[in-house]
């Protein structure tokens, strides 16, 4: 059975992340992030990636992608030069779709709005749609009660988040009626 996951902001190879994450080197960080990803994502699963995958060169980024389980639907972030290079060279079969900035998923009875950035309001938010985002590395205090969640690794124990986990999180939040 295929499962669905969401994540963002791994920043593979990014030295600045060592200030915020408990690793000595970027290679240690990369290895643990790959291990964590593969501990929950299976080879046939789908993962929606909400931007900022890697700071490494495109060829090193391809090597990282090959180590990861699942097929990736990629929503662009603000630090995605290696991913754009990979896509332009057809260098990865892991990324099966690439979407600039924004994506809407209709899955079973859910309507999910995804972007690298957090929105204050989004399509069908007043009808209970979910909004998933990254970029903020768990630093955006969201006490709005709205059905949105930061799926970035820094906000989720360095793990991708399953659709079932998202459903449980959203049960604790309200649908905010706008009209």
Residue 178 falls inside a structural domain: no
Residue 73 falls inside a structural domain: yes
Q: How many CB atoms sit inside 10 A of residue 44's CB?
A: 11
Domain of residue 62 covers: 4-171
Q: Containing H/E element for 59?
A: helix 58-67
Number of domains into which the chain is organized: 1
Contact 175, 19 (CB under 8 A): no
Residue 76 falls inside a structural domain: yes
Please provide the DSSP assignment of 69-86 as one string: -SEEEEE--SS-HHHHHH
* CA nearest neighbour of 163 among 111, 103, 116, 123: 111
Residue 32 falls inside a structural domain: yes
Summarised one tens digit per residue, pLDDT across range 132-164 is 999 988 777 777 778 999 999 999 999 999 999
| pTM given for the model | 0.93
CATH number of the domain that 135 lies in?
A: 3.60.21.10
Residue 40 falls inside a structural domain: yes
Summarised one tens digit per residue, pLDDT across range 31-76 is 999 999 999 999 999 999 999 999 999 889 999 999 999 999 999 9
């Amino acid at each position: 059975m295929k499962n669905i996951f969401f994540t963002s902001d791994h920043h593979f190879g990014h030295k600045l992340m060592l200030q915020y994450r408990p690793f000595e080197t970027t290679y240690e960080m990369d290895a643990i992030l790959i291990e964590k990803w593969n501990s929950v994502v299976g080879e046939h699963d789908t993962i929606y990636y909400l931007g900022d995958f890697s700071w490494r060169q495109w060829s090193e980024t391809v090597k990282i992608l090959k180590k990861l389980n699942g097929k990736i639907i990629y929503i662009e972030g603000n630090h995605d030069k290696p991913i754009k290079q990979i896509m332009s060279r057809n260098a990865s079969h892991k990324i099966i779709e690439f979407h600039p900035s924004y994506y809407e998923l209709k899955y079973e009875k859910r309507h999910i709005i995804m972007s690298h950035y957090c929105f204050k309001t989004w399509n069908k938010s007043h009808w209970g749609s979910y909004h998933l985002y990254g970029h903020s590395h768990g630093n955006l205090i969201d006490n709005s009660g709205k059905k949105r969640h930061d799926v970035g690794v820094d906000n989720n124990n360095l793990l991708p988040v399953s659709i079932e986990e998202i459903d449980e999180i959203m049960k604790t939040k309200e649908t905010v009626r706008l009209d």
